[in-house]
Amino acid sequence: MDHLTLDVVVTRGALIESRHRVHAAVVDAKGNTIATAHDPATVTYWRSCAKPFQVMPLLESDGFDQVGWGDDHLALACGSHGGEPEHVALAQAMLATIGMEEGDLACGPHDPLAARGQKMLRESGQRPTRLHNNCSGKHAAMLAWAHTAGWPTVGYERAHHPVQEGCLAEVAKWSGVEAGAIGRAIDGCGVVVFALPLDAMANAYARLADRARRSHEVPSRIVHAMQTRPFLVGGSDRFDSAIIAATEGRVITKVGAEGVHSVAIVDEGIGIAIKVECGAQRAQFPAVIAVLQHYGALPRDLPPRLAEFSHRQLHNTRGEVVGDIRLPQK
Amino acid sequence: MDHLTLDVVVTRGALIESRHRVHAAVVDAKGNTIATAHDPATVTYWRSCAKPFQVMPLLESDGFDQVGWGDDHLALACGSHGGEPEHVALAQAMLATIGMEEGDLACGPHDPLAARGQKMLRESGQRPTRLHNNCSGKHAAMLAWAHTAGWPTVGYERAHHPVQEGCLAEVAKWSGVEAGAIGRAIDGCGVVVFALPLDAMANAYARLADRARRSHEVPSRIVHAMQTRPFLVGGSDRFDSAIIAATEGRVITKVGAEGVHSVAIVDEGIGIAIKVECGAQRAQFPAVIAVLQHYGALPRDLPPRLAEFSHRQLHNTRGEVVGDIRLPQK
């Protein structure tokens, strides 16, 4: 068992100003925990890291093929997109194929997560819509499942709707945690969110990778879509897109809010879950990169695009570099 | 010695999603540490909590009275203002009395910190200027010191300028830490920032309160200005303004960036310093209120304006209440 140190520091001048504790669990394809940081059994919400499992029932039910969707639609449903015009148009097209529109989405509007998405929206003079919500692909897929299954589409976000019950069963199956033991609450986008120990999250990603490399149909389709469409999983300046692109799909990563992240090293069947204890996103990217470097899935000398996520410079209001965010130097 | 627990949790539904560790030191007028949370000697930057001490040399040199400033100007120099029109106009007036203007400020522009300031600036169609920087009052006072002392005003923000050397000496005197042992770096606004152990920060605020209650001139003027002008210390929705107003000046609090806060319970000569380990502002307000309740300086049943800072509800993109930020219930 490896004991990892993934804590992230914020420096100013020569001193550390703030510190982030990062918990982690690394699980292999047999379900064994092979490495930890702090408490690998800490329980938190899986947030958007659950998306690949929340779209599975639609694929298993054959509803996905009935509506004629392909890898682009699947990647968007698994992703936390940047609200860029391509993402918004694709989410709208997904709704159109099932005879629905923005107003049918249960998620609320928020500003695009990608800087390009924000800029293009601002320049258009429009306000953000529900389609700009980073979860609009997931919501369109949930609506498609309700639609093809013949269930009411109104209320698809509620805990007792068969769509959410089906997602809970899927999360239970992949994480290895009984459905009755999975805490539930309301996510940022209004659907059910699942609480799990980190090692169960890592276990689900390890199994997803393992089943994909062994060509099980649904896991393979999901992993393939994420591997080959990094822009649709995130966006032009999004962390997950940068990692998937830089590793040519050997690694898939999925961000969640409040400092949770899930990762699969696909060919090795390894799953990783991390949680920044305080929830700060600024700490999760350096930690994810460090654990991937530990497993040789990323090089020590990072390409510039990833180096920016691993070691971010801090500027003050005068534009001076005053510190950075990174793992402590060894 | 009291051992306090000031850690703050972020809940979602019935579970804790994220946790913030909060360090603290409470020091009495004799310089004794009377209560702690986690590590009272943790070293971090004092940030904007140092402002009351950074304006002291101007008062002591008589420059403050030479330029004809009063309590309003002093409160703004000690404050982290919200960039509201009144703050901006006062900072501009301070510069005008010494024959200077916005361009002489070394701080960079940033969006107003107060929601009202943001809204009014947006509606004006203007961009933020250096006057909107929450530190513009402090900078105007530094310029006034350089001006009245006959030093060059250009470069007043640099470590070797007599203004910054004077501030270091003042911080050393009040904190009880030798100047050579005080770490220095660059603050968000470009001036020198000081690294101190928390108990030394608390010691400085305890001594400030003690000297003010014993009517020493400079401490009395500073404390009186902050007690009687809460809006100029912060702004219409700012935490420090709400605390000072609610306690009618019995408590003065001063926010700093990256989760640092300093507090004086004036009549008791008690100083308090806290640091949210990860730097998150969302945790520092509940922690400051909890320590003030512990000392009876705030009631258990808070007025609504303070209750919102002590126990903040979290809403999702649909506007639903999904959790809260607060100390764990006992």
Q: Do B279 and A18 make contact, defined as CB atoms within 8 angstroms?
A: yes
Q: Do A18 and B185 make contact, defined as CB atoms within 8 angstroms?
A: no
Give chain A's contact residues with B (Cβ, < 8 Å). 10, 12-15, 17-21, 43-45, 106-110, 133, 183-190, 193, 195, 258-259, 276-280, 283, 316-320, 322-323
Q: Do B190 and A317 make contact, defined as CB atoms within 8 angstroms?
A: yes
A-B contacts at Cβ under 8 angstroms: 135
Q: Do B15 and A110 make contact, defined as CB atoms within 8 angstroms?
A: no
Compute the nearest-CA separation of A247 from chain B (Å): 30
On chain B, the residues whose CB falls within 8 A of the CB of A111 are none
Cα–Cα distance measured from residue B13 to residue B130, given in angstroms and rounded to the nearest whole number: 42
Q: What's the pLDDT at B238? A: 98
Q: What's the pLDDT at B304? A: 96
**Residue partners of B322: CB distance under 8 A and separation at least 6:** A185, A186, A187, A188, B12, B13, B314, B315, B316
Compute the nearest-CA separation of B82 from chain A (Å): 16
Q: Do B188 and A17 make contact, defined as CB atoms within 8 angstroms?
A: no
Compute the nearest-CA separation of B154 from chain A (Å): 15
Compute the nearest-CA separation of A156 from chain B (Å): 14
On chain B, the residues whose CB falls within 8 A of the CB of A316 are 108, 186-190
Q: What does the pLDDT look like over B115-164, one tens digit per residue?
A: 999 999 999 999 999 999 999 999 999 999 999 999 999 999 999 999 99
Mutate to test the interface with A, among B122, B316, B320, B322 (most CBs of A within 10 A): B316
In the predicted model, residues of chain B with pLDDT beneath 70 are 330
On chain B, the residues whose CB falls within 8 A of the CB of A45 are 12, 15, 17
Q: What's the pLDDT at A329? A: 78
On chain A, the residues whose CB falls within 8 A of the CB of B12 are 45, 185-186, 193
Q: What's the pLDDT at B329? A: 78
Residues in chain A: 330
In A98-216, which residue ranges form alpha helices assigned H by DSSP? 115-124, 136-149, 162-175, 198-213
The full 3-state SS of chain B, as one line of letters, equals CEECCCCEEEEECCEEEEEECEEEEEECCCCCEEEEECCCCCEEECHHHHHHHHCHHHHHCCHHHHCCCCHHHHHHHHCCCCCCHHHHHHHHHHHHHCCCCHHHCCCCCCCCCCHHHHHHHHHHCCCCCHHHCCCHHHHHHHHHHHHHHCCCCCCCCCCCCHHHHHHHHHHHHHHCCCHHHCEEEECCCCCEEEEEEHHHHHHHHHHHHHHHHCCCHHHHHHHHHHHHCHHHHCCCCCHHHHHHHHCCCCEEEEECCCCEEEEEEHHHCEEEEEEECCCCHHHHHHHHHHHHHHCCCCCCCCCHHHHHHHCEEEECCCCCEEEEEECCCC
User: pTM of the prediction?
Assistant: 0.96
On chain A, the residues whose CB falls within 8 A of the CB of B189 are 316-318
Compute the nearest-CA separation of B204 from chain A (Å): 20
| Straight-line distance from the first to the last Cα atom of chain A, in angstroms, rounded to the nearest whole number | 21
Task: Give the closest residue to B248 by CA, choosing from B284, B202, B285, B298.
Answer: B298
> pLDDT (tens digit, 0 to 9) for every residue of chain A, 330 residues total?
899 999 999 999 999 999 999 999 999 999 999 999 999 999 999 999 999 999 999 999 999 999 999 999 999 999 999 999 999 999 999 999 999 999 999 999 999 999 999 999 999 999 999 999 999 999 999 999 999 999 999 999 999 999 999 999 999 999 999 999 999 999 999 999 999 999 999 999 999 999 999 999 999 999 999 999 999 999 999 999 999 999 999 999 999 999 999 999 999 999 999 999 999 999 999 999 999 999 999 999 999 999 999 999 999 999 999 999 999 976
Q: A16: part of which helix (H) or strand (E)?
A: strand A15-20
* 8 A C-beta contact, residue A259 and residue A278: yes
Q: Do B318 and A17 make contact, defined as CB atoms within 8 angstroms?
A: no
Select the residue of A18, A45, A318 nearest B108 (Cβ to Cβ): A318
Q: Do A190 and B259 make contact, defined as CB atoms within 8 angstroms?
A: no
On chain B, the residues whose CB falls within 8 A of the CB of A19 are 277-278
